[in-house]
Amino acid sequence: MRSRTFLAFVAPSVALMTIFIAVPLVVVLLQSFELRQQVFHQVKTQTCTPGFAGQVCTDDIKNLPVLDEQGRPVEESHFVGFDIYRTILSPTAVVDAFKQGGGGLAAILNIDFYRALRFTLTFTLVTLPLVIGIGLALAIALENTLKSLRGPLIFSSLLPFIITPVIGALSIRWLFVGDGIMTSLIDKLTGVHIAMFAHGWTIEILMLFYRVWSSAPFAFIIFYAGLQTVDRDTLESAIVDGASRVERLRYVIIPHLMPLIVFVALIHLMDAYRVFDEIVGFSSQGYRISLQWLTYDFLIPDNSGNRSVSRAAASSMLTMVGILVMLLPLLRRTWRDHRKAR
């Protein structure tokens, strides 16, 4: 392919990625080093009590935001370096927590960033093997069923993946909240009323269950497509040589599906590390928060109408760094396999 032809095909994608990904990323990075604040000015007002002879007047000084010609609050920015990152990461509080009587890990988890990081890592690392394992098991089971049943089974298996994440999370919540269907059923069968949304660990289990339930169909359909390309001669040779099902799975099927396993792991890690829908759907803000939700919370206006744009930018950059760290081993493996293939 000629260079001009290659550039003609690549240029639109590069331009769109630059406009919608690279430029916003640079802007967010710069905002994380700047402190944006509204400009206020003092206004002196006088309040008088009713009456003519005994009238008493008091002077009040109020701080009101400065407005521009369009009536929008005027903001000013100051370069503060890594001060915003230090505010979020709270390194001094972390060091003090490990001192004698400092509270240890429990004190660190009281800091919003580390509380969100703990849940995000747990959510990602627990659901990843479950999604890959269940998806692979479903694909192998479907491969060994009757061909007439495969179509309906594929359709029914993909339903959780088709449902909008927030709607799916709300549906699971309604099943277990208060006197929901599942809560009432458990109460009748065991005689014990379980308040699933009164404890953080029960909400976390429900969120983990929902993510596995909604993401496993994606892994299943990818692995099932990959099973169609397995060399049948190799499988038959393994059977003739006396290899068991476990041995055929370990030495034939999994090595053949390894590129797809890495692909599913990459997609799931990027998606699960940005967990947000479950936090909103299960209304778990009082018990469990994620890094993505923390960024969203910084952007919610406070009582004076201010938004912590700088802290939101810093939080989003820390989230991106975490995603890169999680993906690095898989990317290194992919690059190594690519070089071997060449």
Average pLDDT over residues 298-318: 85
Q: Which of 61-65, 96-100, 187-191 has the lowest mean pLDDT?
A: 61-65
From CA 136, how far away is CA 227, in angstroms rounded? 10
pLDDT tens-place string over residues 171-212: 888 888 877 888 888 888 888 777 888 888 889 999 999 999
From CA 28, how far away is CA 299, in angstroms rounded? 13
pLDDT tens-place string over residues 8-30: 888 889 899 999 989 999 999 99
Contacts of 214 (CB under 8 A, 6+ apart): 160, 161, 163, 165, 168
Domain boundaries, the chain: 112-168+205-341
At residue 272 the predicted structure's pLDDT band, cuts being 50, 70 and 90, is very high
From CA 104, how far away is CA 80, in angstroms rounded? 30
From CA 194, how far away is CA 202, in angstroms rounded? 10
Could you tell me the sign of the dihedral formed by the alpha carbons of 200, 201, 203, 208, in that order? positive
**Strand segments (E) across the chain:** 34-38, 40-48, 57-65, 75-79
Fold of 112-168+205-341: MetI-like fold (1.10.3720)
**Residues 84-93, buried b or exposed e (16+ Cβ, 10 A)?**
bbeebbbeee
Average pLDDT over residues 236-245: 85
Q: Is the pLDDT of residue 1 over 60?
A: no
pLDDT tens-place string over residues 111-131: 999 999 999 999 999 999 999
